[in-house]
């Protein structure tokens, strides 16, 4: 009789152990589904904040260089998780390309390692085309 009772106790013990293990696995999976995207978003926000600080530093240097605001645009793209290089894009509208020529060295000195500099100048043809289109418009009065 003792052996039948011990087999029943073992079966109940095994069932409780399986239930506990299932509970632990389900809890870990649910935690991973919730915490995984949350941690990913926290990392992305931290990289975006760092890129914003870099952009503000570069804009400050450009404002100091030109003694005021310019037509230069500064866009900083943070590095992605699997691509470790960020990007600083410096652009100017058509006709103001000379601003880029004067500013790129200051931008390079403010960029952290691991970032690349992209220079974009406005398309000269599109700016002159718009000016001639505006000149051809008839007067309303």
In a domain, 125, yes or no: yes
Distance of CA 20 to the CA centre of its chain: 41
- The model's pLDDT over 13-67, given as tens digits with 9 standing for 90+, comes to 666 677 888 899 999 999 999 999 999 999 999 999 999 999 999 999 999 999 9
Angle of CA points 89, 95, 100, to nearest 5°:
35
Buried b or exposed e, range 19-28, using 16+ CB within 10 angstroms = eeeeeeeeee
In a domain, 52, yes or no: yes
The whole domain housing 112 covers 2-136
Q: 3-class DSSP state for residue 102?
A: helix
In a domain, 141, yes or no: no
- The model's pLDDT over 63-111, given as tens digits with 9 standing for 90+, comes to 999 998 888 999 999 988 777 789 999 999 998 889 999 998 999 998 9
In a domain, 36, yes or no: yes
pLDDT value for 27:
92
How many structural domains does the chain have? 1
Angle of CA points 77, 60, 73, to nearest 5°:
50
In a domain, 50, yes or no: yes
CB distance 51 to 76 below 8 Å: yes
């Amino acid at each position: 009789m003792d052996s039948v009772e011990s087999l029943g106790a073992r079966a109940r013990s095994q069932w409780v152990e399986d239930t506990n293990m299932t509970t632990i696995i389900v809890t870990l999976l649910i935690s991973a589904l919730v915490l995984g995207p949350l941690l990913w978003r926290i990392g992305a926000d931290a990289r975006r904040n760092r890129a914003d600080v870099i952009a503000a530093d570069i804009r400050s240097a450009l404002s100091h260089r030109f003694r005021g605001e310019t037509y230069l645009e500064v866009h900083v793209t943070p590095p992605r998780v699997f691509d470790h290089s960020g990007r600083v894009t410096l652009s100017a509208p058509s006709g103001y390309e000379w601003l880029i020529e004067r500013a790129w060295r200051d931008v390079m000195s403010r960029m952290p390692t691991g970032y690349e500099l992209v220079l974009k100048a406005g398309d000269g043809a599109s700016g002159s085309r718009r000016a001639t289109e505006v000149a051809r418009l008839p007067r309303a009065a």
